[in-house]
Amino acid sequence: SGLELLRRLCRAAVPKKVRRRMVPALTPEEISLAESHLYADGHPDEVIVSRFSVDLTRGQLQCLRPKTWLNDEVINFYYKLLQERSRKAKAAPRCWFTNSFFWNKLSGGPAKGNDDYNYKEVRRWTTKAQVDIFQLDYVIFPMNIGEMHWAMGAIDVKRRGFRYFDSMISRPHPNFVPFLRRYVEDEHKAKKGGPLADAAEWDLLPLEVPQQSNGWDCGVFTCCFAEYFSAGKELEFDQEDMSDLRLRIAARVAKADEDWDRGP
């Protein structure tokens, strides 16, 4: 009918909403560096970067190709870079980044359903890292959920609570809060010589995070959660940014240089 035709013409005349770009565009150097390590010829066992007493191979880095689940080697290496970046930053929150084994060591891991609290397994971690968590703003750790999914946890010392960053699941494991609460209590007893007065009040802090729309980008989200949160920035990225962010992380890891905020 004429009325329906008019409606269609009106809809067509409405300009489409342009998505505001939240993530800076990749630089030519980032693209070149990432693609040379992700796609160029080379043996998968070739070591492409050595730092933090870790040899990262071409095959390991290639988990940053599209539609590929990230491995713990790349995520832990990126978190090490974030630790160095945080350490150098003058105005950023004070952070300690653990590796991906922290939560599973503390909770017994997927083999025990993350249902077996064990402070002894992580008691020496802060001593080895020479950190006092009660002098920090955040303790940040990647979480391997059931060998199938990546998320990020954080102890927010400043706000006296816990944060759970997950691009797919809104609620953490039921033991997430009680085990982390016991951890801060045990850490205070072990390192400060007495109980933490308000430990019972530490709870899960409300949080909304960007969500993924596929089954393979959780690790990229987990890297970006750590990068943005540790810098005190809003989580201004989403699913549409993931292809570029895979290349950006690959370039940063291959370069093994945490000073990417410095600019050219």
Task: List, by residue number, the catalytic residues.
Answer: 149, 166, 218
- Taking the C-alpha atoms of residue 27 and residue 30, their distance in angstroms, rounded to an integer, is 5
Nearest to 95 by CA among 142, 176, 154, 54: 154
- Positive or negative, the CA dihedral 256, 259, 261, 263 is negative
Residue 183 near residue 124, CB atoms below 8 Å? no
Residue 169 near residue 215, CB atoms below 8 Å? no
Residue 96 near residue 133, CB atoms below 8 Å? yes
Name the packing angle between helices 218-230 and 242-255 (round to 10°).
70
For residue 260, give both structure tokens: 């990417």
